[in-house]
Structures are given as C-alpha cells and as structure tokens.
Amino acid sequence: MLDPMTSTTATPVALPARRTLSHGVSFWVVSGVFLTVMAYGVVPTPLWTLYQHRDGFSTFSITIAFAAYAVGVVISLFLAGHLSDRVGRRTILLPAIGLEIVSAVVFIVWPELGGLIVARVICGLGIGMLTATVTAHILDLHSASRPGSSPARGQVVSGAANLGGFAVGALVSGLLARYVAAPLVTPYVVFLVLLVAAFVAILVVPETVVRPAVRQAYRPQRVSVPRASRARFFTVAVVAFAAFSVLGLFTSLAPVFVSGTLGITSRAVAGLVVFATFAAAALAQIAFRPLSARAQIVVGTVLLVVGIAALAVAVVGGTSFALFLIGGIVAGAGAGGLFKAALAIAGSLAEAANRGEVLAGVFLAGYVGLAVPVVGIGVATLSISLAAALVGFAVIIVVVAAAAAIPLVVGLRVRGSGLS
C-alpha cells in the first residue's frame, strides 16, 4: 500500500478521558510506528538466500513463503482493514502491531520453512489491518494539529513512512545479517524490540474517532465501482498490478539472483538493492505530485519499461551488478509513480462515500500483482533457470504495463483530466 489515498472521512476528535500526547507530537510518533512496522515486513528479504543455503530448499519454496505474506494482507484488508472508522484507530492498530510481534517470535523460534510461511502469513494479517488504519490516523492527527490546513503534508509523510519503511527495513536487515552474529536471529530480535516500543507508543497517542452510538452490523470490505467507470477502473487495476509486480520481485527473488547468478553473497548488498528500489519508489511519489495524472502514467510507464529492460539485459549478461542496480532504481521509480497515479485516478471514479471501496479494489489488484507473478517465476524455475524466468517476467510486465497505460493515457487526454 503505497499511497495515503486510503484516508477516510472520519472527523478527528480528541478524547481527553486519558492522558495522551498532543496531536502534533502524535503525528510524528504514529508516522514512526508506521515506518517501523513496514520496515519489519521486509526483514526476511536479504535473508532468503541464507535460509536457502542452510536448508537446501528451492527458489520455488522462497516464492511460496513470500506469497504467504500477500495472502495474509489481502485476507486482513477485507476482513478488518476498514473497521477503524467504526471501532477507532487504536483499537485496530494495537492488535495489528501485536500480530507483528507474534510474527517476529515465530521467525525466531521456528526458522524452518513451515515456520517462515506461518510467520509471513501472520505478518501479512497485521499489515492488512494496519496500513489503511495508520494512514487515516496520521491524516486525522495532522488535521487536528493544524485545523484547516491542506492534507498534503500528512500525505507526503504517510507515503514516505510507507515506502521508506520498506527501504529502511531491507537495508538494516542486510547490514545486521552481514556484520552481526546469528544473522537469522539478530534482525528479528532487533525489530521485536522496536515493535514492542511501537505498541507502547500507540497506547499514549490520542484516539481520533468517536464510536457511533448505534452499533453497526459487521461486514467485510466491499469493492464497489460505478458501472460507468468500470472500464477505466480495470485499466487502473492492471497498472497497479504491474507496479506491485516489480516491487514484489525485489522483495523476493532479486537477492537470490544477486547471490546465485552475480556471485555477490553479501547480505548488506542484497539489502542495498531493495533499499535503492524502494527509496526510488518513495521519492518518485513525491516528485510526481506536481504532474497531471496523464503525465504521471506516461512518465511512470517509461521509467518502468526502461528499468525492466535494464534488468533483463543485466540478467542475460549475468555479470553487471551496476546495471542490475540501476535497473531496479529506475523500475522502482516508475512503479512508485504509477501506483500513485492509479490511486489518484481510482479515487476520482466514485463519490466520497464509496471511495474507500473503489480503492480497496486497486489494493486487491496490487497485492495480487505482488504475489502471482513471483510465484509464477518460482514455478518456472522448476524447469528453467532463474535468469530465463526473470527475462520472461520482464517481457510480460512490460507488455502488461503498456497495454494498460496506453488506453488510460488516451482516455485522460480525451477527458482533459488534470488529476494530480
């Protein structure tokens, strides 16, 4: 979830019944919690090859463990990700962080493949509950601390915490695995301490939602798109699918390729690759803000295609780490910009009351893109080399991204959309 468009219409209200931090301080505290939890979500990324070498399981097994995370996110997103509007932000954030703590413990005490899969599912469940909720909480706190101000500051900080967390987590995990003893334990212990601190921090920030007097019946999150907008929504969803596919590649198999094919076994380098890709995606979301939606789609698609092409060349050559890294940075920037544009366009397709449901559909497409292509690569490696599978992935993603972007750009030009 890469953009703060998931904000809700709940009215921020300070509840003075208990002693809490001010809204202004809480804005930064909650943003730090967001960054910490998202950082924890990618801790295993630089470690996959260590697990593989220790236990001898295949690349396909790594993709299954990775996909388990996306499955958990999707399930949680639709079952609980929307409930903070009714029951309160803190009521959802505390158990979400609790799930991350449980996940870290499972990683530590059950480091075999079965444990990795269970830990990843639990991690995904917590992330699905947390992401939309904490984004809304950040925007609520910003509104309460600066009444009448533009939400842009809250959106930028939320987006930076989201993608920045992925970048920081991979880098820190890689450095710990490289320079500290017990590389398959220490990173989880460090983040376990940070997650406990995040849990305590949420206890002392103010709630920003007042529960309705009449208790509403539970229902899962719906995906609702106006009939007249369904064609455009479909193209936007495909764009989100392509963007997340690229990011999913770098949080799963890219470190395996760097180690196995390029011969660079340093976990710090593996973390650096993921850090650079996600940092580029985060910065692109900021840099794309002045552009119209049409320009964002055009620039994002060009960057994605160029970056993926560079990756394919690096994979075929099998010797150029620099080209592989540059390709990741460029593709990451394109993916970040494209997803920002996809959410902005999707958010314009429905009235405010139904906007969350439309955005839920975009997130679903994105998380399907995060898991399915990576699993496809894993299946392909059962009969062909990882390099060949990655090249096939590159071709497919370029075709998919272009096929969705072209009609979307044409449609925006005809309508003269100025979305940004």
Rank 223-232, 286-295, 324-333, 347-356 by mean pLDDT and report only the highest.
324-333
pLDDT of residue 415: 62
* Residues ≥6 apart with Cβ < 8 Å to 347: 5, 355, 358, 359
d(CA 75, CA 48): 24
Percent of the chain with pLDDT over 90: 50
CATH number of 228-420: 1.20.1250.20
Q: Where does CATH 1.20.1250.20 sit in the chain?
A: 1-8+21-210, 228-420
Judge contact between 401 and 305, C-beta under 8 A: yes
Residues of the chain by 3-state class (helix, strand, coil), percent to 5: 75, 0, 25
Model confidence at 291: pLDDT above 50: yes
Pick from 71-80, 95-104, 210-219, 402-411: least confident: 210-219
Average pLDDT in the chain: 87
Percent of the chain with pLDDT over 70: 91
**353-396 per-position pLDDT tens digit:** 566 667 777 878 888 888 888 888 888 988 998 889 989 998 99
Four-residue CA torsion sign, 247, 251, 253, 258? positive
Pick the CATH number of 1-8+21-210 from 1.20.1250.20, 2.40.30.200, 3.40.640.10, 1.10.645.10: 1.20.1250.20
- What value does the mean pLDDT take over residues 27-39? 97
- What value does the mean pLDDT take over residues 337-349? 85
**308-329 per-position pLDDT tens digit:** 999 999 988 887 899 999 999 9
pLDDT of residue 160: 84
Residue 180 DSSP one-character state: S
pLDDT of residue 367: 82
pLDDT of residue 1: 47
d(CA 169, CA 198): 15
Helices assigned H by DSSP within 206-320: 230-250, 254-260, 267-287, 293-317
What are the Cα distances from residue 52, in Å, to 42, 78, 255, 256, 413? 17, 33, 12, 9, 49
pLDDT of residue 3: 47
**206-253 per-position pLDDT tens digit:** 999 887 777 778 888 777 777 888 889 999 999 999 999 998 888 888
Pick from 80-84, 121-125, 175-179: least confident: 80-84
- What value does the mean pLDDT take over residues 395-406? 93
**138-160 per-position pLDDT tens digit:** 989 999 999 988 877 887 788 78
pLDDT of residue 356: 60
pLDDT of residue 12: 47
**Residue with tokens 């509403």, as numbered in its chain:** 216
d(CA 2, CA 5): 9
Model confidence at 10: pLDDT above 70: no
Paired tokens of 64: 């299954």
pLDDT of residue 18: 63
